[in-house]
Amino acid sequence: MKYEIDKVLLSREQIASRVRELGRAVAKDLEAKLHADGDDPDRHADRVVMLPVMTGAFVFTADLVREMPLKLSIRLVAVESDPGTATESKGAKLRGAMPKDLDGRHVVIIDDIHDSGRTLKLIQEICEEQGAASVTSCVLLDKQVEKAVDAPADYAGFEIPDEFVVGYGLDYDGYFRNLPEIVTLKEVGRSPDSRLLRILVALALPVLTYRLIQLFDRVACAAELFERQPLGDPSVLFTHK
């Protein structure tokens, strides 16, 4: 199955403007937390950890942190979906090790898209188990679908409908990550002749099935009559209706 770009859902200008707003909002809240702890935001870079989920969030993270006038560190975490189709998520599990030094730190999980909620829930629980001072989440896209678990994002760039999207780090089978916009895809590569053939097959299948059932009934009936006749008198097979 092949896909190509269908329509632009979010332009590069829309994304840049919103990411700028998100970066400033997240930085402002982190500074407030550090001041509440009695720390100087300019001297305690080790207290703030940005935790992007690879690989989809790498473009978003690069732009987001450059809008944050705050000392911080960046650690990476890899999460993979349980087996499903290429266009949907069935679950989440870690792929590789989580950072082990999150105790007492303010952690911001960064993800490209929030759909089932399983990825955020998984990472939040691990950060809390390590004793993080705070755990918040920032997602670029919040898909308007029913969440599988209760794990709302603290910051969300855009709400989007239930469509499969790519671009700006999001991919389909490893492709389209480099697009500067966020776009939807459409299926291509099936000619009108192939679609017509599928329609004809679908229409003919019930008729063929009915004919096969009739044939099997006649064979079974003939076999039963043959068993009842004396050997050497197969004429009934040709006269029975």
Domain ranges of the chain: 10-173, 192-239
Residue 91 pLDDT: 63
Helix (H, G, I), strand (E, B) or coil at 56: coil
Half-sphere exposure of 108 (CA within 13 A, CB side): 28
CA dihedral 141, 16, 53, 169 (to 10 degrees): 90
Please, are residues 25 and 85 in contact by the beta-carbon 8 Å criterion? no
Please state, in angstroms and rounded to a whole number, the distance separating the CA atoms of residues 15 and 141. 10
Please state, in angstroms and rounded to a whole number, the distance separating the CA atoms of residues 50 and 37. 18
Residue 232 pLDDT: 55
What DSSP designation does 53 have? E
In the block, tokens 């896909």 appear at 3
Segment 71-105, tens digit of pLDDT: 999 999 998 865 444 444 456 788 878 888 899 99
Residues of the chain below pLDDT 70: 1, 81-91, 189-197, 222-241
Structure tokens at 134: 């705070």
Residue 88 pLDDT: 46
Residue 132 pLDDT: 96
DSSP 105-152: -EEEEEEEEESSSHHHHHHHHHHHHTT-SEEEEEEEEEE-S--SS---
CA angle 64/58/187 to nearest 5° reads 115
Residue 236 pLDDT: 52
Half-sphere exposure of 18 (CA within 13 A, CB side): 17
Please state, in angstroms and rounded to a whole number, the distance separating the CA atoms of residues 164 and 241. 58
Residue 81 pLDDT: 66
Residue 127 pLDDT: 95
Return phi, psi of residue 182, to 5°. -105, 125
Fold for the domain defined by 10-173: Rossmann fold (3.40.50)
Q: Which residues are part of the catalytic machinery?
A: 115
